[in-house]
Amino acid sequence: MLETQDWKDFSITSWYDKFKHITMETVILELPEVVLDKLIYHPASNQSDGEEEEWDEETPLPEDFKEDFKNALNTLGKTVFIKNNWHSPTDAKMFSIGNALKAQNIDDVILYFTTSTAIQQDFSNVKGVPFCLALRKWISIHPAAEFRCIVINNVLRGITPRDWPTFYGHYKEEGRQIIDALQEFFAENIKENFKRKHYTFDVILSYPDKPYVLDFGPLNSKTNLYAFSWKEINPLLNKEVPKEVSPVFRYLESDIGIMTRAEALRKIKLSE
């Protein structure tokens, strides 16, 4: 379970202003109680008369929230990607048109948030951090361009594709370039600027654009490390390393068809 300080440090409300220039444009709206209530999943009660629970679905949204939401859509371009402070409702994708999770109105937000387990878990687990709705400019992202970077003691140690385990032939040819680009990006923009010393950041790298950050996240046994395992990352946390150490970029080296995550890890370990 994360501590309140973890929730605070990794909330987009904590890092957005500092990293505005290297992430996509975002409007963050704090969620008033009435709006939050609409975003929380209320299971229908089993009362014999079939009446709904106490909460009132018909409570209107506050006018100023509606106004802020409308302005955000106008600023960001009508269609947005949404998150709470920490997560996007990607596990609610099946409810969205074309699997794209595009939100165009408050009803979309309510649908995605109430049907997302990740979002609902945050709402029930987190204490001491005001909940928000982050509306982000919607961009089309090629899955091969998404990387998760692992930072240990303020040093970039690992890079993994987020689309894992999928084989992309160009990773091999461009491996050195990818490492160099991400290392330079990290050194110039993130190192020492993020307030933790162990963390992950997710980044989009697609030439000829500059890399940009999608998200920051905690580094612990629960973190999805894709091509890496916590077993191999954990011991590095207490190890001093020279500042110039080069990160490991781990990817699938050959197309071995569809396999499970465990199989992929086994395979990659054997070939190292």
Ligand X SMILES: Nc1ncnc2c1ncn2[C@@H]1O[C@H](COP(=O)(O)OP(=O)(O)O)[C@@H](O)[C@H]1O
Q: Which residues contribute to the site for Mg ion (CB under 5 A)?
A: 215, 217
Among 138, 185, 186, 249, binds ligand X (CB under 6 A): 138
In angstroms, the CA 71 to CA 113 distance is: 20
Cβ-based burial of 8 (10 A; exposed 0-12, middle 13-18, buried ≥19): middle
Site map 155..194 versus ligand X, x via CB under 6 A? -------x--------------------------------
Instruction: Using only the alpha carbons of the chain, give its radius of gyration.
Output: 20
Using rule CB under 6 A, residue 139 touches ligand X = yes
Q: Considering only residues 2, 24, 29, 110, which one is a binding residue for ligand X as defined by CB under 6 A? A: 24
Among the residue ranges 50-58, 62-70, 138-146, 236-244, the one whose residues contact ligand X (CB under 6 A): 138-146
Sheet with 212-217, strands from edge to edge, namely 212-217, 199-204, 146-152, 155-161, 248-249
Query: Quick one: 19 exposed, middle or buried, by C-beta within 10 A (0-12, 13-18, 19+)?
Result: middle
Is residue 256 at the binding interface for ligand X, with CB under 6 A as the rule? no
Q: What is the CB neighbour count within 10 angstroms for residue 106? A: 18
> Which one of 13, 14, 90, 229 is in contact with ligand X (CB under 6 A)?
90
- Of residues 142 through 161, those in contact with ligand X by CB under 6 A are 146
Q: Which is nearer to ligand X, 9 or 146 (CB)?
A: 146
> What would the two tokens of residue 134 be?
């982050």
Q: How far is the CB of 87 from Mg ion (least distance, A)?
A: 6
Is there binding between residue 88 and ligand X (CB under 6 A)? yes
- Name beta bridge partners: 54: none
- Nearer Cβ to ligand X (71/117): 117
Q: HSE (CB half, 13 Å, CA atoms) of 103?
A: 29
- Interface residues with ligand X (CB under 6 A)? 24, 81, 83, 87-88, 90, 136-139, 141, 146, 162, 202, 214-215
